[in-house]
Amino acid sequence: MPDASDLLPLLKRHWGFERFRPFQAEAVRAVLQHRDSVVVLPTGGGKSLCYQAPAVFMDGLAVIVSPLISLMKDQVDSLQSNGIAAASVNSSNSTGERLNVANDIRSGRLKLLYVSPERLCTERTLSFLEGVKVSFFAIDEAHCISQWGHDFRPEYRMLSLLKERFAGVAVHAYTATATEPVRKDIASQLNLSDPLFHVGSFDRPNLTYRVEPRGDITQQIHDVIGRHKGESGIIYCISRKQTEEIASELTSKGMKALPYHAGLPDVVRAQTQDAFQKEVIDVVVATVAFGMGIDKSNVRFVVHAGSPKSLEHYQQESGRAGRDGLEAECVLHYGPGDFLWWKKVAEEMPPEARGIAKATVKKMEDYCQGVTCRHRALVEYFGQEFEGENCAACDVCLLDLNVTPDALVVAQKILSCVVRLKERFGAGYTAQVLCGSSEQRIVQNGHDKLTTWGLLKDAGTSAVRLWIEQLVSQGYCEKYGDGDYQLLRVTPSGWKVLRGEATPRLLQPPKKKQKKAKRTEAAADLWAGVDQGLFEALRALRREVASERGVPAFVVFDDQSLRDMARRRPTTLEAFLECHGVGEKKQRDFGEAFVGAIVAYCEANKVEADVDSDVAPTPDEENLTKSAARHQAFSYFEHGMPIDQVAERVNRAFSTTRQYLVEFIAHTGRLDAQPWVDEQTQSRVEAAIPGLPQLSLNALNEHFQKAIDYDSLQIVLACWRNRPTAMPK
């Protein structure tokens, strides 16, 4: 029985990859073993390769079900650029084109056929496929088959007949976002037989998440775009009107942006999508109509001008950033009206779906108003555990949030007011009392005589409302009652706050002038060794080549490949083949042009060429998670955890983790080596340092002649270097 490792030569030849990414190998194995499967990998996790590589390796034709013509076209263009025989059949094909595809299938030349569910399930198509060797069926965007998923499409239900008509042929379902109930429903609706459920990590460590209350949304969007000048991005809006207003405003400021929504003519939407794919424009301002058809790998930012209605939607939409595995930013702006709108939409749904819809809106609201790690919140929503304490890639962990310094006192004032109002009023009324309102109803109720009346008048009602919602999201008080007007009451956790036994985390409302977001260390690591001038030159060449061929830019090379070229700077076709994402066909098609551009740039700018591969490592998953592991280690060291335990937790070698500790000591200015080195040993080492010929680890090691282990010496020396006068006499 073949295994995923048997496909590695093919992987290198066609895709230019040395190995499968995390979680891909097991999904590939299921296809090779002809076992039905449900595979959930996050956007950018490499789902397509899980069926594309086996399709090339196996005998017969792989039939890929895809919902959108644009998505099929991009996939087919990309496969053909890698030297793989693939085609699609859809309404855009002429009769002659469909006949050519049919002939290629009968002759065995075609390896992958992309088709929509409604076309596949016609009697004519099914009968035709029954007459050829089908290796397997792959259902992309499989969550569309479940009414509990976030994008239910009735036409997907027809796919249940595949197991009846093609006995013995495996069916594989692929999606980026599916909770456990949705995964089970997918398997049931497709009539899968003992399927493998393979769920990769929902975490996207290369994405930096930020959540901000909506203020001056135009300025907030400008702030994000300002951090990504000349890069591709998507701005999601709830209404069609807003998409056009924001796109117009951006265009008036000289930015290359276009709107996209379902109210525009089909030809206009197609032109906008094509311009975005070919990098003619940088920004698309869109409703959720701009969705699954986007297979653009180098989207560097996704902005939500309003909250989506569920975390499934947010995971899917924000996940369109950084599909190439490189750093990208996702910024969500929300307002109270967003959740009222989505709750109203939920009320109009059928009774059997109404409860679930309301619950998903509540989870989305909790995410926006919460102050826990964004990566953790998303991962745990989908039923997985998040490793580590600090993701180093969200506003919470990067300490970008404007935290209220006296949160305990503020929370106690709010909760005390809820109690004194006998837990019979809502958030708006409570905020008015706390801000000292003399509104008629408050005076008539005698609530202007409460001890809590006016306690937070200097903060303002908008800030107090924000704090109330944060207390609700953290479980210190809760809303109850039916309808739009819900009342507040204090929870058992809230009573602990009142007694001073627990402290919530409260955020200040946004100020008009937002501070510039930090660039994460993970992002900086991904640019290590890259000549950015060369990278931009290669981007321009890619755009030119893509335009000549009439394909999206990423079909030529993605950003990860361009960065690796700008690291290695190869001057021969052989060296070019070693770059990430360069297979044999792309070497033949594009090698001369790109190598020529690299040589010309290096000569003109006196830049070193043919950099050794050890100096310029390929940016794989190890590099993507390296900085996150470092920050997780820092949080463990903060609590005094031993090095070996930290190494196990962050899945790093002992020597690497020891180095993290040395960096932690330097970062925190720590002078005390305990608990990693006992006090007596630290005193011995520090006493010897002033007499050393030079302040170095080698000098210390020679002095003690292995009487003290190397690790302890390195740790004590790191502490010594934090002293104001750390030079030897």
More confident residue, 301 or 512: 301
Contact 75, 69 (CB under 8 A): no
Q: What confidence tens digit (pLDDT) does each residue in 118-161 have?
A: 999 999 999 999 999 999 999 998 888 886 655 677 788 899 99
Has residue 728 got a pLDDT over 70?
Answer: no
Could you please report the per-residue DSSP string of 29-75?
HHHHTT--EEEE--TTS-HHHHHHHHHHHSSSEEEEE-S-HHHHHHH
Compute the average pLDDT of residues 11-30.
86
Q: Is the Cβ–Cβ distance between 639 and 668 less than 8 Å?
A: no
Instruction: Give buried/exposed letters for 301-319 (b at 16+ CB in 10 A, else e).
Output: bbbbbbbbbbbbbbbbbbb
pLDDT band at 37 (very low <50, low <70, confident <90, very high): very high
Q: How confident is the model at residue 501 (pLDDT cuts 50, 70, 90)?
A: very high
Percent of the chain with pLDDT over 70: 90
How far apart are the C-alpha atoms of 261 and 239, rounded to whole Å? 9
pLDDT classification of 626: cutoffs 50, 70, 90: very low
pLDDT confidence band for 39 (50 / 70 / 90): very high
> What pLDDT was estimated at residue 484?
57
- State the pLDDT at residue 205: 86
The confidence score (pLDDT) of residue 619 equals: 43
pLDDT, one tens digit per residue, over 506-543 is 887 655 444 445 455 445 556 777 888 999 999 999 99
**pLDDT value at position 49?**
93
Query: What is the model's pLDDT at position 333?
Result: 94
Q: What is the pLDDT of residues 430-444, one digit of tens each?
A: 999 999 999 999 999
pTM: 0.65
Q: What is the pLDDT of residue 711?
A: 84
Task: Name, in order, each residue with C-beta under 8 angstroms of 404's C-beta and a sequence gap of 6 or more.
Answer: 410, 467, 506, 507, 508
Taken in order of first residue, the domains within the chain and their CATH numbers are: 4-199 (3.40.50.300), 207-381 (3.40.50.300), 407-498 (1.10.10.10), 527-605 (1.10.150.80), 621-720 (1.10.10.1390)
| Residue 337 pLDDT > 50 | yes
pLDDT band at 340 (very low <50, low <70, confident <90, very high): confident
15: exposed, middle or buried (Cβ count in 10 Å: 0-12, 13-18, 19+): buried
Question: Which pLDDT band, with edges at 50, 70 and 90, does 618 fall under?
Answer: very low
pLDDT of residue 727: 44
- The predicted pLDDT at position 22 comes to 63
Dihedral angle computed from the Cα positions of residues 639, 640, 643 and 648, in that order, rounded to the nearest 10 degrees: -30
Of residues 134 and 180, more confidently modeled: 134
Instruction: Note the pLDDT of residue 489.
Output: 95
Bigger pLDDT: 675 vs 507:
675
Least confident of 22-26, 54-58, 287-291, 407-411: 287-291
The per-residue pLDDT for range 558-585, each reduced to its tens digit, is 888 999 999 999 999 999 998 988 999 9
Confidence band, pLDDT 50/70/90 cuts, at residue 617: very low
For the chain, what is the mean pLDDT? 85
- Residue 507 phi/psi, 5° resolution? -105, 150
